[in-house]
């Protein structure tokens, strides 16, 4: 497969996956509130159950991708993800929904890290990886927007449950696209002493992460940002309903419209980042700036006097802060990783995301249940702002030195 084909295939896959995934989550987020009638704590606990599953399997599946196959790890991810998505639309009881979210969480552990590692090795052009990853993040935003339109319209025309089931089936089918169109020419699987090799890869990843000050910085900031993101993502629809979110036409229409504007904002922000991410110190500056924008958006959502102001806060947090910080953190860690532990390091990054979501997400969920969603949003503001200060004040080794370990 030519380098151009690798980049194009990766971007197209990212786009299509986002169509199904984001469309599914749009409908599911309303389904959990309007049909399953979950409480604020139950909504956050769903994410906690998902994250506990993911954090348990993230490292083994990351090592598996570095040992056996990046491509087939992604295929397995699609099979599990599609099954979890499909099952969500068939149940309404809280325990059953917890189970579907655990399957969904497990699926992401097979994909996270394996996708970036696959692109980096198959593209075989280190100088292009950051721009391709940023472009794919931007196309992911466009795919998400398409998913909101398609599945928002589908849910409005049919019903929430059926739309969720259809998205799950579509994700399963996309797994066959990966099996057919993803090559694996630049990766040599371990065929002997796999357990020994897996343990060696894990240890090498741990050593690199511990010694590289910039990787540790990204991990620390990610814990804070994702803790805030978990509470924000689970609770903002309920917060908007509190503020008087319009009921005519159907709330799914308003939620779809808000999602589209948010994604358009994110695509523009990522296009700007794409043109500037290669500069020395750019990742640190961009990450910190996005955090400060997100902190302001969360404060705006917490103190909003009406639904319009609340939606403006959602726009800043979801459209700029979370999309940019996620993209930059992946690029930043990928630059510091060596080829033999690339997927493992990305799995470490995913694992600290889950840690933040579990510890801070649960805490904020309890806070929301005991006080109000507004207070929980203010707590999220403190976390994101703290991450921004941490990154902005950091002074360390050269950012662009791929795989270099700071002493």
Q: For position 32, which CATH number holds?
A: 1.20.1250.20
Q: What is the pLDDT of residues 147-156, one digit of tens each?
A: 988 998 898 8
Burial class (CB in 10 A: 0-12, 13-18, 19+), 265: middle
Question: What percentage of the chain's residues is helix, strand, coil (to nearest 5)?
Answer: 85, 0, 15
Would 387 be classed as within a structural domain? Answer: yes
> pTM of the prediction?
0.72
Calpha distance 391→389 (Å, rounded) = 6
* Backbone dihedral angles phi then psi of residue 268, each to the nearest 5 degrees: -65, -45
| Secondary structure letter of residue 69 according to DSSP | -
pLDDT band, residue 404 (cuts 50/70/90): very low
CA dihedral in degrees (68, 107, 201, 116; nearest 10)?
Answer: 90
Report the domain count for the chain. 1
Would 199 be classed as within a structural domain? Answer: yes
Q: What is the pLDDT of residues 23-53, one digit of tens each?
A: 998 899 889 988 888 887 788 788 778 878 8
Instruction: Report whether pLDDT(231) > 50.
Output: yes
pLDDT band, residue 194 (cuts 50/70/90): low
Would 84 be classed as within a structural domain? Answer: yes
CB 134 within 8 A of CB 273: yes
Q: What pLDDT does residue 172 have?
A: 95
Calpha distance 54→354 (Å, rounded) = 7
Calpha distance 47→54 (Å, rounded) = 10
Would 399 be classed as within a structural domain? Answer: no
Nearest to 397 by CA among 311, 332, 339: 332
Residue with tokens 């996005």: 290
Whats the size of the chain, residue-wise?
407
Would 406 be classed as within a structural domain? Answer: no
List CB contacts of 69: < 8 A, sequence separation 6 or more: 184, 187, 189
Write out the residue range of the structural domain in which residue 123 sits. 3-392
Instruction: Report whether pLDDT(291) > 90.
Output: yes
Residue with tokens 């339109």: 149
Q: What is the pLDDT of residues 306-351, one digit of tens each?
A: 888 999 999 999 989 998 999 899 888 888 888 778 878 887 888 8
Calpha distance 331→346 (Å, rounded) = 10
Would 175 be classed as within a structural domain? Answer: yes
Would 407 be classed as within a structural domain? Answer: no
CB 182 within 8 A of CB 74: yes
Q: Which structure tokens are listed for 61?
A: 């599946």
Would 401 be classed as within a structural domain? Answer: no
Provide the 10 A C-beta neighbour count for residue 281.
10
Which DSSP helix (H) or strand (E) runs through 294?
A: helix 282-303
């Amino acid at each position: 497969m030519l380098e151009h084909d690798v980049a194009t295939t990766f971007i197209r896959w990212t786009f299509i996956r986002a169509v199904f995934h984001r469309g599914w989550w749009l409908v599911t987020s309303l389904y959990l509130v309007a049909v399953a009638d979950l409480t604020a704590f139950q909504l956050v606990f769903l994410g906690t159950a998902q994250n506990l599953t993911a954090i348990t399997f993230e490292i083994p599946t990351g090592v598996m991708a570095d040992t056996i196959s990046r491509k087939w790890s992604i295929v397995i991810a699609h099979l599990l993800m599609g099954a979890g998505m499909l099952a969500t639309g068939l149940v309404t009881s809280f325990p059953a929904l917890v189970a579907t979210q655990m399957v969904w969480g497990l699926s992401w552990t097979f994909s996270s890290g394996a996708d970036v590692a696959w692109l980096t090795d198959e593209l075989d052009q280190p100088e292009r990886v950051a721009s391709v990853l940023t472009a794919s993040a931007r196309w992911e935003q466009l795919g998400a927007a398409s998913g909101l339109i398609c599945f928002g319209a589908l849910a409005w025309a049919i019903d929430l449950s059926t739309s969720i089931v259809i998205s799950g089936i579509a994700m399963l089918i996309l797994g066959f696209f990966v099996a057919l169109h993803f090559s694996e020419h630049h990766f040599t699987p371990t065929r002997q002493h796999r357990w020994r090799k897996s343990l060696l890869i894990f240890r090498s990843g741990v050593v690199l992460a511990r010694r590289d000050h910039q990787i540790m910085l990204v991990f620390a900031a990610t814990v804070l940002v994702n803790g805030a993101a978990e509470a924000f993502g689970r609770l903002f629809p309920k917060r908007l309903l509190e503020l008087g979110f319009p009921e005519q036409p159907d709330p799914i229409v308003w939620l779809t419209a808000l999602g589209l504007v948010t994604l358009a904002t994110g695509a523009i922000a990522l296009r700007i980042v794409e043109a500037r991410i290669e500069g020395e110190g750019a990742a640190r500056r961009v990450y910190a700036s996005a955090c400060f924008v997100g902190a302001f958006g969360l404060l705006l959502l917490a103190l909003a006097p009406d639904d319009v102001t609340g939606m403006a806060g959602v726009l800043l947090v979801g459209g700029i802060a979370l999309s940019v910080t996620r993209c930059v953190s992946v690029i930043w860690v990928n630059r510091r990783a060596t080829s033999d532990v690339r997927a493992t390091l990305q799995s470490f990054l995913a694992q600290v995301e889950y840690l933040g979501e579990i510890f801070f997400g649960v805490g904020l969920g309890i806070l929301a249940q005991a006080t109000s969603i507004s207070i929980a949003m203010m707590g999220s503001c403190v976390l994101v702002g703290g991450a921004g200060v941490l990154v902005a004040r950091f002074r360390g080794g050269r950012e662009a030195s791929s795989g270099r370990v700071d002493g």
